[in-house]
Structure 1
Amino acid sequence: MNDHESAMKFDETRPIYIQIMENIKSKIARGELKPGSKLPSVRELSGDMGVNPNTIARAYSELEREGVIVTRRGQGTYVTDDPQKVLKI
């Protein structure tokens, strides 16, 4: 994910965490992020994007609440492998 994240331009009129969520969902919908694929850590993605780690954590938290991603303690954060959730994106 890091190649494109640093180039992402943010719309100052909308919350950045929502824009990050939309970016991740878009990559899943386009097949750039496959079901079950590992996402960068909060710290790694925040460094790549130049945003506060809390912003990434909020985006990940909301995506997890929506069932788009899952966090496996001690392993990382992954795109859901639930086909029904992926189809709804």
Structure 2
Amino acid sequence: MTLIPGETQPGFTELFAQLGLPNDEASIAQFIRQHAPLADDVLLHEAPFWSPQQAQMLKEEIRLDDDWAIVVDQLNAALRGKPRLEKI
């Protein structure tokens, strides 16, 4: 997913929408609480709670290393219990 020029950096709200998950702040926080901590030896896209389509999307965004990779990395850190510097 490439951003259209002039669009702002996507955040968790937009990522969760792209993943087909509830994307309000409370639902995102609940998802992270429910699935964290993700073991260090499990790649984000290999976590058992993703559908095949969700896993593929996450893997592809990291591979592309575009604007979406930043928020995928932030989700990865959040699921591993690492503190974030930004608000969800």
TM-score by length of 2: 0.35
Q: Give the TM-score, by structure 1 length.
A: 0.35
